[in-house]
Each structure stands twice: as structure tokens, then as C-alpha cells.
């Protein structure tokens, strides 16, 4: 069946309650520079490789978004070095939700952002 919808994800929206805090958190996680003077509601786009983008969405000024209570990851960031990634996240003082889980050809751990969104860091 032909579909006019492409098999491609362009942008992942992560809803946040404090845009500046979230921009700093995600930028540090990914080792990216940021300028707090450029952070303006309602959204901030994090630089991501390839097609998929990451947009932090705080909404309009009059909206205050609540923190989430999801227990499963929204998405994952890739790493080729799971132990180094874990140690880096730990050195940032980020909340680690699960220790490293190893399978034969795949390893991962999960962390939570300032709004308790669960993010997976994995080798697959």
C-alpha cells in the first residue's frame, strides 16, 4: 500500500516545565554549547544528527506544564561506549533510573530529565 506519510521521524517533542533548565540539561548531556540568551519560549531545538530533531516544548508563557510520571523511555540516545556514557551521566549528577543492562549485542541504561521524562542511552 502506498502512503503519503514518509517512513521517517522528523522531530521528537519533549514537553518540559522549565525550558532553560531543560536546554541546559540536554545540551550538557549531548556535549553541546548553548547560550541562555537564545532560549525563548515556547520551544528550543536541540541539534541532532541526521533527519530526526529534538524540540523541547514549554508551551506559551501562560501555560505551565506538569512533570511527567512515565515509567518507560520516550526515546533513546545512541552510544558506542556504554560504560563511558554511564560514567559521564553520573559525573553530571543526572538521575540514573536503571543501571547498565547487558545483552549479547546490546546494552542500555535509563536516566530521567528534569521533568522525569525517561530517556534510554543504548548501544543498539
pLDDT band, very low/low/confident/very high, at 4 (cuts 50, 70, 90) = low
Q: Give domain status of residue 4, yes or no.
A: no
**CA–CA separation, 101 vs 3, rounded Å?**
37
- Domain range for 103: 11-122
Closest CA to 43 of 63, 72, 71: 63
Residue 30 has pLDDT above 90, yes or no: yes
CATH number at residue 55: 3.10.180.10
Q: How many domains does the chain have?
A: 1
How does pLDDT run across 62-104, given as a tens digit for each residue?
888 877 778 899 999 999 999 999 999 999 999 999 999 999 8
The crossing angle, in degrees rounded to 10, of helices 19-29 and 82-92 is 140
Q: Give domain status of residue 82, yes or no.
A: yes
Amino acid at each position: 500500500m502506498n502512503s503519503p506519510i514518509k517512513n521517517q521521524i522528523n522531530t521528537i517533542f519533549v514537553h518540559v516545565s522549565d525550558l532553560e533548565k531543560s536546554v541546559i540539561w540536554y545540551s550538557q548531556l549531548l556535549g553541546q554549547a548553548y547560550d541562555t540568551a537564545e532560549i525563548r519560549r515556547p520551544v528550543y531545538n536541540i541539534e541532532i544528527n541526521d533527519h530526526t530533531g529534538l524540540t523541547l516544548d514549554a508551551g506559551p508563557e501562560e501555560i505551565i506544564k506538569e512533570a511527567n510520571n512515565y515509567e518507560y523511555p520516550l526515546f533513546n540516545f545512541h552510544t558506542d561506549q556504554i560504560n563511558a556514557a554511564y560514567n559521564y551521566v553520573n559525573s553530571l549528577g543526572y538521575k540514573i533510573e536503571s543501571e547498565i543492562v547487558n545483552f549479547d549485542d546490546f546494552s542500555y541504561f535509563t536516566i530521567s530529565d528534569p521533568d522525569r521524562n525517561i530517556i534510554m542511552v543504548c548501544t543498539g
